[in-house]
Amino acid sequence: MQTESTNGGLRDRLIDTGVALVDAEGAAALSLREIARRAGVSHGAPRRYFPTHLELLSAIARRGFADLGARAAEAVRASGAGTADPRAQLATLSRVYLDFAAHHRGMYELMFRHDLLESGELGLRETSLPLFKMLSDLVAAVRPDTEPTVVAGALWANLHGVAQLWGWGSLQLAVGADDIEPLLTSVLDAHLGPVPR
């Protein structure tokens, strides 16, 4: 086992280990002891950088927000190349959000844990603001007649609900379909109005 004094990048390694663990086994697997074990350090080593378990979980969740934000920004940039259609970019952003929730279930759940978000000291809630600004700016371009942050907030809440219910299997059962695309179309139409013909 590596000692704390010879590890240089231990803080990042602990976070990296937590990211891999949450993706593989879900948020419930993220104990300090298990992260330390998988990082190859003593079980007390994480306390040097993360005095509380919540602080380590918050650092791991920050990586999730950074990853989701980077994926969304890249996809929106790519989808707007040549057309700059903000509605198409909103649809792309929404797909990235739903895809992230489906394929990184443990991280997605960790990112929105209330105990992490409500801690003023951890500052995790602010990590979602750049993604929300991107969403709000696109809404403003599509619906300049509205208060874009309100519409963006409602759209985000709707997408979050779809992501959660889809992840639990409830929506597939309720609507009798395995394709999320019609639901996404309906969500976008509800908040942005139907696509002009």
Cα–Cα distance, 45 to 33 (Å, whole number): 9
pTM of the model: 0.88
| CA-wise closest residue to 87 among 170, 174, 185 | 185
Cα–Cα distance, 10 to 48 (Å, whole number): 10
Encode pLDDT of 133-190 as tens digits. Answer: 999 999 999 999 999 999 999 999 999 999 999 999 999 999 998 999 999 999 999 9
Encode pLDDT of 77-126 as tens digits. Answer: 888 766 778 999 999 999 999 999 999 999 999 998 877 776 655 667 78
